[in-house]
Amino acid sequence: MGIYSVYIINKAGGLIYQFDNNIPKTEVEKTFSYPLEMTLKIYDDKVVVAFGQRDGIKVGHRVLSVNGINATGRCLEDGRDIMEMLSQEANYPVAIKFGRPRLSTNEKIMLAGMFHSLYAIACQLSPMPQSSGIQGIETDTFKLTCSQTLTGIKFVIITDPKQTGHDLLLKKLYEIYADYALKNPFYSIEMPIRCELFDTNLQQAVEMAERLGLTAS
């Protein structure tokens, strides 16, 4: 149960607001002996698991730290290359912490743009006339709900599949946007929203929707 995050996309496909509510952390630490029982690879300048799921470590998880030293990109904080270090038998046993990679701001902007185009393509591929764009995507782990206003702003919420009350929350978000972003004289339209009142009200609305959704089901 829960609301994971909120995205607001302007009519050009740019991300103008993003808020992460509560994203569950998946982190597993395990001590390994030589040779490593899994295949690692470098992907997007991160060391990720390519093959060999075990003990809660899944394919796609990245290396977060080795022996308690945090990883930055493909190197550790002390400058050693992770792949190189793990290939040497002398360094074993090692304790490696794995976790699901979190989205960086750049990735979020990219995903928002991607959703913007998918929204338009879905509308073109519709077997029925006068279709809107994507209103919802369901996967086994989350549900995405989107509403586009007449002015072309998209409000997207990512929630747990069991969460209810999406439409109410989307409506509330639009209201908050109209009240606290658009009426703010320092806010220029189509630009990222940096208004304190907007932040606090949006967070309250999300928390409220999360609780109401809990009681509704």
Partner 1 sequence: MTVYNLYIFDREGTCLYYHEWNRRNQSGICKTEEYKLMYGMLFSIKSFCSRMSPIDQKDGFMNLRTNKFKLHFYETPSGLKFVLNTDLSVGNIRDTLHQIYSSIYLEYVMKNPLCVQGDVIESELFQTKLDDFVRGLPIFATKLS
> Is residue 215 packed enough to be buried (19+ CB in 10 Å), middle (13-18) or exposed (0-12)?
exposed
Q: Which of 16, 64, 66, 134 binds partner 1 (CB under 8 A)?
A: 134
- Using the contact rule CB under 8 A, the part of the chain among 35-43, 128-136, 168-176, 196-204 near partner 1 is 128-136
Shortest distance in whole angstroms from residue 23 CB to partner 1: 5
- Using the contact rule CB under 8 A, the part of the chain among 8-16, 68-76, 124-132, 163-171 near partner 1 is 124-132
125 token code pair: 């591929």
| Residue 139 touches partner 1, criterion: CB under 8 A | yes
Shortest distance in whole angstroms from residue 166 CB to partner 1: 12
Distance CA 109, CA 115 (A): 10
| Residue 217 touches partner 1, criterion: CB under 8 A | no
Q: Which of 31, 72, 87, 126 binds partner 1 (CB under 8 A)?
A: 126
Shortest distance in whole angstroms from residue 57 CB to partner 1: 10
- Using the contact rule CB under 8 A, the part of the chain among 65-73, 87-95, 135-143, 174-182 near partner 1 is 135-143
**What is the side-by-side order of every strand in the sheet holding 154-159?**
15-20, 3-9, 154-159, 143-148
Q: Which is nearer to partner 1, 4 or 180 (CB)?
A: 4
Quote the DSSP letter at residue 152: S
Distance CA 2, CA 213 (A): 8
Long-range contacts formed by 86-93: CB under 8 A, 24+ apart: 86/36, 86/40, 89/34, 89/35, 92/32, 92/33, 92/34, 93/31, 93/32, 93/33, 93/34
Q: What phi and psi, each to the nearest 5 degrees, are found at residue 88?
A: -95, 125
Q: Which is nearer to partner 1, 117 or 204 (CB)?
A: 117
Q: Which of 38, 85, 122, 208 binds partner 1 (CB under 8 A)?
A: 122
- Binding residues for partner 1 (CB under 8 A): 4-5, 23-24, 26, 58, 60, 100, 103, 107, 111, 114-115, 117-118, 121-142, 144, 158
